[in-house]
Structure 1
């Protein structure tokens, strides 16, 4: 299902983001990315250098638990320059503007790296926006920003749309095992809420106040976890509310089909897309995982349209 937008006009700004993004073909997510890296001991792969299949193979065979690394300031500078379309800017010219949408600062130091990159980006006006989230929910915000750019809207209008999408979108996911979150040191409040009972399948979200993971529900089986994700979406928005949903999967694509069918039984689905979780994020979820970013009704810029 594709997302339509108004005809492209002369953009007033450009958009860049980081490897916290899970990009959807049906959204305007094709923007320059400051990549994360996944590390197995002394071997390191950037987001675009390792496939999901190769990652799963490494997880099964490599005795070393992988870690992830945020983009460097230089990698952010490269992404911003690519977005601006200029390695140099004429002194007399108007500096190009770039809106950099980052993964939650509560989950990564990427925003700080983007801020540091400004020191080597003379001649480019960089505005930072902390998405407060990641993955498909970050993709929704990038879509809002890029839609504004393609329509020739101002950067300030883009930020209004992005912030509206940020407030109305929730991200929920469940995982087959908490072991990968535990090994990566990101289990935090999730573990505390579960009381250390690692056999339970959590439904995890990103707390809007802190930008960190927290548990909102639990189930006794992975299948039950998928059902609990769908139930949480309905509790949040109310049965019958039209939804936009960005679905995420690890090793089993059919998990998203099960969730979408469940949601269709309670909501009109006005947009949906599905994508495999990117390798760097999969390091923390483990191979089998299921997630969804959900938001109600039309996009903010469509609401005044009959």
Structure 2
């Protein structure tokens, strides 16, 4: 469901978002792009399956690129409302927020009034914030009220992920070569989160096997919220959907899960984590506006 012209403002986001069918995530998107050698695809032009095949067969490692100011301009101009709330991937992880700011300046006096909001996160946790913003718009509330909800959702939501191999992070320059080599030799699988203060990745655990890392990831969720706390759980998977089943089963054994949904990691984010990955965004109980 789109924010629509009847709402006081439109929500727009970028390709850092992973979309959940049961959340209000159907909004205009400024897309990221993926480049293999001399061939570039917008994230809407390449399927996850094609990307995984390319990752495993193409000698050129892909690079990803943030939306350009022009990409943002197109997304902002589709709004059709006097105000736009643009929710971006963490500025600590991408220059998308800066590109959105440039686009805002290009709009000129005839364009909508644009408020930029740095989500401080990405993926499933960004999906929670987009859902909050669209909910506010649909209820006829102000951009200011929406931002209060966004901050509340960010504060209580944690995003954790693990990956089968460090190779794709190494190839993409996201971790040092030595660290990747050591991790590979010891067969260690990291558990990574997004630091709330910096909006950047930080390692919070590791395991000796991928299955062990899924277990460690879910235990991290329980440590954060306390066993027995009701949770909302958004699951992410790469080319093995059953990883999400395993994680949900582990969480359900320790928490009442009041809402859950799953989606595949989008093609651009998959460039960095590789084909096999698992992510969980978790938050306690009901949404802030339903309490």
TM-score bin (small chain): over 0.9
- Give unmatched runs, 5+ long, in structure 2: none
2:176 matches 1:181: no
Q: Which residue of 1 aligns with 2:99?
A: 113
CA distance in 2, matches of 1:210, 1:183: 24
Q: CA deviation at 1:196?
A: 3.5
Match of 1:32 among 28, 31, 40: 28
Aligned pairs for 1:246-261 (under 5 A) are 246-261=234-249
Q: 3-state DSSP class of the match of 1:120?
A: helix
CA distance in 2, matches of 1:191, 1:28: 42
Q: Is the 8 A contact 2:33 2:40 kept in 1?
A: yes
Q: 3-state DSSP class of the match of 1:172?
A: strand
Q: What's the CA shift string for 1:90-133, capped at 9, x where partnerless?
A: xxxxxx11000000111110000000001221221110011111
CA distance in 1, matches of 2:175, 2:117: 25
Q: What's the CA shift string for 1:259-286, capped at 9, x where partnerless?
A: 0010000000011000000000000000
Q: CA deviation at 1:197?
A: 2.7
Q: Which residue of 2 aligns with 1:13?
A: 9
CA distance in 2, matches of 1:195, 1:137: 30
2:80 matches 1:85: yes
Q: CA deviation at 1:58?
A: 0.5
CA distance in 1, matches of 2:254, 2:141: 35
Q: CA deviation at 1:195?
A: 9.2
Match of 2:124 among 100, 121, 136: 136
Q: What's the CA shift string for 1:52-86, capped at 9, x where partnerless?
A: 0110111111000000000000000111111x227
Q: Is the 8 A contact 2:121 2:194 kept in 1?
A: yes
Q: Which residue of 1 aligns with 2:89?
A: 103
CA distance in 2, matches of 1:110, 1:22: 15
- The 1:275–1:64 alpha-carbon spacing in structure 2 relative to 1, beyond 3 Å, is same
Q: CA deviation at 1:9?
A: 9.8
TM (norm. structure 1) is 0.90
Q: Is the 8 A contact 2:8 2:137 kept in 1?
A: yes
Q: CA deviation at 1:10?
A: 3.6
Q: Which residue of 2 aligns with 1:47?
A: 43
Q: Is the 8 A contact 1:233 1:294 kept in 2?
A: yes
Q: What's the CA shift string for 1:221-255, capped at 9, x where partnerless?
A: 00001101100000000000000010000000010
TM (norm. structure 2) is 0.95
Q: Is the 8 A contact 1:9 1:150 kept in 2?
A: no
Q: What's the CA shift string for 1:18-49, capped at 9, x where partnerless?
A: 00000000000000000000100110000100
Q: Which residue of 2 aligns with 1:262?
A: 250
Q: Is the 8 A contact 2:189 2:213 kept in 1?
A: yes
Aligned residues: 285
CA distance in 2, matches of 1:42, 1:212: 29
Q: 3-state DSSP class of the match of 2:183?
A: coil
Q: What's the CA shift string for 1:180-210, capped at 9, x where partnerless?
A: 111111226x986x89333200000011111
Q: Which residue of 2 aligns with 1:90?
A: none
Q: Which residue of 2 aligns with 1:70?
A: 66
- The 1:129–1:191 alpha-carbon spacing in structure 2 relative to 1, beyond 3 Å, is farther
Q: 3-state DSSP class of the match of 2:182?
A: coil
Q: 3-state DSSP class of the match of 1:197?
A: helix
